[in-house]
Structure 1
Amino acid sequence: MRYYEDIAVGESSEFGEYQFEKAEIVEFAEKYDPQPFHTDEEAAQDTAYGELIASGWQTAAVCMRMLVDGYVHDQASMGARGVDELRWRKPVTPGDTLHLRVEVVDKRRSESDPSRGYVDNKMEGINQDGEVVISWIGLGMVEVRDPDG
Structure 2
Amino acid sequence: MIYFEDMLVGTTERFGRYEVQREDVLDFARKFDPHPFHLSDEEAAKTHFGRISASGWHTCAMTMAMFVEHIQDIPHASHGGVGIDELRWTRPVYPGDILSMETEILRKHRSRSRPEIGSVWTRMTTFNQDNVIVLDMTAIGIFALRDPAADNA
Whether 1:67 and 2:73 are equivalent positions in the alignment is: no
Deviation string 1:10-53 (CA, Å, 9 cap, x unpaired) is 00101111011111101110111011110011221111211110
Question: How high is the sequence identity, in percent, across the aligned residues?
Answer: 42
In the alignment, the residues of structure 2 paired with residue 56 and residue 70 of structure 1 have an alpha-carbon distance, to the nearest angstrom, of 21
**What's the RMSD between the two structures over aligned residues?**
1.1
Unaligned runs of 5+ in 1: none
Report the AA paired with residue 138 of structure 2. Answer: I
Whether 1:2 and 2:2 are equivalent positions in the alignment is: yes
Equivalence map 1:56-135=2 (5 Å): 56-71=56-71, 73-135=74-136
TM score, norm. by length of structure 2: 0.94
TM score, norm. by length of structure 1: 0.96
Which residue in 2 is equivalent to 1:33? 33
Instruction: Give the stretch that moved more between structures: 67-76 or 91-100.
Output: 67-76
In the alignment, the residues of structure 1 paired with residue 109 and residue 130 of structure 2 have an alpha-carbon distance, to the nearest angstrom, of 35
Deviation string 1:84-140 (CA, Å, 9 cap, x unpaired) is 000000000010011110000001110011110111001101111001100100011
Q: Provide the aligned length of Structure 1 versus Structure 2.
A: 149
Residue aligned with 2:80, SS: strand
In the alignment, the residues of structure 2 paired with residue 74 and residue 45 of structure 1 have an alpha-carbon distance, to the nearest angstrom, of 45
In the alignment, the residues of structure 1 paired with residue 7 and residue 36 of structure 2 have an alpha-carbon distance, to the nearest angstrom, of 43
Deviation string 1:50-109 (CA, Å, 9 cap, x unpaired) is 111000000001111111221365321111111100000000001001111000000111
In the alignment, the residues of structure 1 paired with residue 2 and residue 11 of structure 2 have an alpha-carbon distance, to the nearest angstrom, of 13
In the alignment, the residues of structure 2 paired with residue 125 and residue 19 of structure 1 have an alpha-carbon distance, to the nearest angstrom, of 13
Residue aligned with 2:136, SS: strand
